[in-house]
Amino acid sequence: MNQLKKIGFLSFVLALGLGLAACSKNKDVSSTADQASDAASDSQSMSEENLDDMTVGKLSLEEAQQVLKNLTTIYFGYDQSSISKQDRADLKKIAAALKTIDTFELSIEGHCDERGSNEYNLALGDRRANAVYDYLLTLGVSNGQLRTVSYGEERPAMTGENENAWSKNRRAELVKR
């Protein structure tokens, strides 16, 4: 009888353990399913954004010449190399113009304010120039039309040790080659 109680008790513990294990696995599966669903949703919105980027067409020759005559400067936040939404819109126009006039070549010059070491600022200027370069490539511009260079803090647009001057120096300039 004593042995029968032990077997019954062990069977109960085993069943309880299996039940708990099964519950936790279901929770992990649904949690994983939720994560997969979120990832798919993020991926879909990123794909839609990328599709939107890739749908840049061409302009008329006159429009393209006008856009390329008035090239814009892309400004960045402190220690940043991400392109703002407004600047992306400007770059889409430039990309359309470059696709229309495929012999036009640009130099993308990355610049920084004077804060930070020379090495750091050259690397940051490079990241800024490459951010613009990469974005233009996603819009269908030929890499043969583009070149990047970093000047770091060596060519300030404005001198001064204040936020106004620093903000003008954190930039990528698009220059005809």
Query: In the block, which residue shows the tokens 């929770």?
Result: 27
What is the mean pLDDT of the segment spanning 160-177? 96
Domain 61-176: which CATH class?
A: alpha beta
For residue 130, what are the CA distances in angstroms to 61, 63, 87, 125, 170?
27, 26, 15, 9, 14
Reduce the DSSP state of residue 148 to 3 states and report it.
Answer: strand
Given a cut of 60, whether residue 52 has pLDDT beyond it is: no
User: Residue 176: how many CB atoms within 10 A of its CB?
Assistant: 10
Q: 157 pLDDT band (50/70/90 cuts)?
A: very high
Q: Which residue has the higher pLDDT, 25 or 116?
A: 116
Q: 71 pLDDT band (50/70/90 cuts)?
A: very high
Domain definitions of the chain by residue range: 1-48, 61-176
For the CA atoms of the chain, what is the radius of gyration?
28
Q: What rounded mean pLDDT belongs to the chain?
A: 82
Q: 56 pLDDT band (50/70/90 cuts)?
A: confident
What is the mean pLDDT of the segment spanning 95-111? 97
Q: Which among 82, 72, 56 has a CA at the least distance from the CA of 136?
A: 56
pLDDT digits (tens, 9 = 90+) for 11-51: 665 565 555 555 544 434 344 344 444 444 333 434 444 44
Q: 54 pLDDT band (50/70/90 cuts)?
A: low
Token pair in block for residue 30 = 């649904």
What is the mean pLDDT of the segment spanning 79-89? 97
Given a cut of 80, whether residue 117 has pLDDT beyond it is: yes
